[in-house]
Chain A
Amino acid sequence: MKAALVLSFDTTSLQQQVHEINLMLNNISTGFSSVELWLFYKDRKPEFFPEISCPLSDIKLIKVDNAHSPESYLQLLVHLMGQYPIDLLMFSSDGSGEELATRLAYRLNGSSCLKVEDCSLTSAKLEIIKPVYGNNLTARFVLESSPYCLSVAKQPCSPVKMTQMEFLKMETITLDQTQPWWVKETLTILDPPKTGLSDADLVLVVGQGAKNKETVDILKGIANTIGAQFGASRPVVMNAWADMNRLIGASGLIISPKLCIAAGVSGTGVFSVGIKSSGFIVAINIDSKARIFQIADVGIVGDVQAVLSELEKVILVEKDKKDSSHGFIEDRTQ
């Protein structure tokens, strides 16, 4: 079975996307006769490449004229598939990967599936595992028709390194692309700089149990003083109590800090998937029956603001102690 990994060089999360694909490759790459990297780029031809966990047979660098137009990518992919047929294409976990996987499979009469957590070859059939029912269950499917187009599931942040790949066969592909005539005007408004939330060691995630924007603001302050990054559940973001780039869960960020404090979140399936691989989870909720306690290591039944304000005090006192003890040692050395 021939496989290709389809990625865009210019995306901000390329290294993370490759990490996610690598996880998938670990279980299946032995079944492949060859693995190619199909890498789209816009202006500058890539010189460094993300570290992929299995040997590559080939890298195809594909120039795309209009980076915002899925149609351009699709045309290129259809063309490439005509020239170099591939049995399995793996796409990134982002919206672009999902769109391309779905639409390409449709155009080529193949099978596609998104948010794939695992895949394997069982007697020449491709089996995949993906979440269903709002991340409350997972399902195993056999995909029936090749080419198989998969987009992989999001995983906690662990970006791979970029390296040079000098000894590899590399091919540059430039093709004429029709312009998307239906787009009359385009403007991009850049997001604020990345928060550091996705790879933080300590994260405070707040849910609707925080009650209102004022309390959420106080909790943001507490996160700041205790040195935690701040995350939020979907209702909190939809209420505009926190920015969209703070969203944790299936449709936001998947995080795995060493320590995650989940405060006032009820713990729905779509939320829990966002934090469940954290090293240690502390849950605080007024409702002792809240589902969040099922994935927590330690639970406190109580008012979120009250407990966190006290925790802030404790941490500040401890910090003071440490600082003053350092001061003491310094005094003696003088």
Chain B
Amino acid sequence: MKIAVCFKIIADYDRLSGKDWEWDECRFVDMSFVRRVFNCFDESALETVLKLSRQLENVSDTVELTALTVDDEQGDLFLKHLMAVGYDHAVRICCNNRLDLRFNPLVISHLISRYIKQEGQKLVVLGMQGGEGDNGQTGFLVAEQLGWPCIREVIDVVRAESPDCLKVFSRIDGAILKQTIKLPMVLIMGHSLNSPYLRVPTLRQKLNAKKKQLTIVSNIELGLDNDALLNKDKTLMDLYGQKPGKSCVFLEGKTAQEQAQRLYDQYLKERLS
């Protein structure tokens, strides 16, 4: 079975301080000085699929895993990492750098679904949301374009008895839904307690991955010219930073006991009554 996981690399926002949140005339925030990390929901998706592929291989199904991202060259390092942890193919869809794809999940989903149609994957897994746009829509749109069923807020996926099905656990209003679903399908990962982090490759795996080739595909090769990548859906008018913080009063105190007493006397007493 061919499986694709789509992921996004984002700047580690936790490493930006208040003053770093500035943007240029095109409303791009400069984050070139901050390390980049896997978007957390995508990281769960990547690890979940690695675990799933182990299960599928145990029943002698051949599994072919593809990791797919839409990014510039900076994505290559992460693709190599994914080859080292067990992805068979690492694909980067590259577009003209000057195009703003941040708030354009429609175009991203076009690129992804065209690649999937071309390669014939039966399962596509994506995280439910990711910066910079925080659009939360790409997975749904991929499902629409492929015409496949789609399960949102997935927390786990495991092998089913029938080889053309998977058991999918997802979160719905007030319950966890366990469904056996026939392939093909799009799964949108939510909070996965089983696989929050991606595994770490060994030295040997890293070395072997270095020898493997990444696949770079351009939007043109996928039949979408630059004009087709423009955002015709919505126009970004402005960005706003956080409202200025409150002026926090720090409570002094030599011991935790003193601090707690002061907190209680000065602030909590009236509020707790």
Chain A residues with a Cβ under 8 A of chain B: 11-13, 68, 70-71, 94-96, 98-99, 102-103, 106-107, 111-115, 127, 130-145, 180-191, 202, 226-227, 234, 237-238, 240, 244, 247, 251, 258-259, 266, 268-269, 279-283, 288, 291, 293-303, 306-311, 313-315, 318
Contacts and interface: CB of A to CB of B under 8 A. Distances in A.
A98 B245 contact: no
Interface in B35-92: 40
Contacts of A11: 173
Given A111-B234, A132-B133, A183 B13 contact: no
Given A296-B248, A310-B257, A141 B263 contact: no
Interface of B: 10, 13-14, 16, 18, 21, 29, 40, 102-103, 106, 129, 131-137, 140-141, 143-144, 149-150, 152-153, 160, 162, 165, 171-182, 185, 190-191, 193, 196, 232-242, 245-246, 248-251, 253, 255-257, 259-261, 263-264, 266-269, 271-272
A134 B131 contact: yes
Contacts of A293: 245, 248, 250
B135 A269 contact: no
B264 A318 contact: yes
B248 A133 contact: no
4 closest residue pairs by CB, A with B = A294-B245, A310-B260, A306-B256, A185-B180
A61 to B, nearest CB: 19
A236 B143 CA distance: 32
| Interface of chain A: mostly helix, strand, loop or mixed | mixed
B259 A133 contact: no
B249 A268 contact: no
Nearest to A283: B248
A249 B21 CA distance: 20
Contacts of A114: 135-137
Contact of B179 (A99, A115, A185): A185
Contacts of B165: 184
A112 B137 contact: yes
A142 B264 contact: no
Given A184-B182, A310-B261, A143 B233 contact: yes
Given A182-B149, A182-B182, A307-B259, A139 B239 contact: yes
B150 A144 contact: no
B149 A141 contact: no
A258 B131 CA distance: 31
9 contacts: A114-B136, A127-B237, A139-B103, A143-B234, A185-B179, A237-B191, A259-B268, A299-B248, A311-B260
A25 B181 CA distance: 38
B182 A144 contact: no
A103 B140 contact: yes
A299 B181 contact: no
B177 A302 contact: no
Contacts of B40: 234
Given A68-B177, A183-B179, A311-B263, A300 B153 contact: no
